Amino acid sequence: MFAARISVADPVRAFEAEEWSVAELIKAGWRESDLAWEHAAGAVARHAAADNPSEAAKAAALALRIAREAFAKDDPRLGTSLANQAFYLRAAGHGEAAETLLLEARGVWASSDAWIARMTAPRVARSSMFHMRMEQLHRDTYEARWRKKWAELAAEARARVAALARVGALDAAAEDALARWRRECPAMLNDTRKLMAAVVFLGAP
């Protein structure tokens, strides 16, 4: 089980305040690997922000292992994992291997349109019956707005991956990534949350 590899006692665990039951994961269409990857990717940034590169490198390796084992070849989370692992390979003196991973990361993000096309727009829980009915009546418009948002996120990530490959180094922006995640992370488990994590934690080790 992927989650068993992440220590609950870890002081820089990515999301201490959140706990999800198996039933909640299934209801949301998530798997244990989805949540384990999110924890690992967040832990990379948390360890990096705490100036603990050795633990950040371990978390990056775990995130990549989960992504390779559990995700599709066009999953943006795989692209992010590849790019972040490249940072630590380069830091360890494995420049050629790092460049190979960066090239693969660019390819994953370039092919991610099919994965994004399979995403489902979140159904926002509202207390107002009026808003629920309006969402049902205008579902096409609602989904179109989300697809525009997803396309913008993907474009941002692709530009960043391309820039990383050009300059030959990843931009260590762990604190900014964590702050953005706290601001923008969807409260519920959904497809948008998967994509958001892939974008926010890209190049933030």
Q: Specify which of 17-21, 67-71, 168-172 reaches the highest per-range mean pLDDT.
A: 67-71
User: Rounded to an integer, what distance in angstroms lies between the CA atom of residue 90 and that of residue 145?
Assistant: 39
Q: Is it the case that residue 14 has pLDDT exceeding 80?
A: no
Q: Specify which of 17-31, 98-112, 162-176 reaches the highest per-range mean pLDDT.
A: 98-112
pLDDT at 130: 56
3-state secondary structure labels for all residues of the chain: CHHHHCCCCCCCCCCCCCCCCHHHHHHHCCCHHHHHHHHHHHHHHHHHHCCCHHHHHHHHHHHHHHHHHHCCCCCHHHHHHHHHHHHHHHHCCCHHHHHHHHHHHHHHHHCCHHHHHCCCCCCCCCCCHHHHHHHHHCHHHHHHHHHHHHHHHHHHHHHHHHHHHHHCCCCCCHHHHHHHHHHHCCCCCCHHHHHHHHHHCCCCC
pTM for this prediction: 0.81
pLDDT at 134: 61
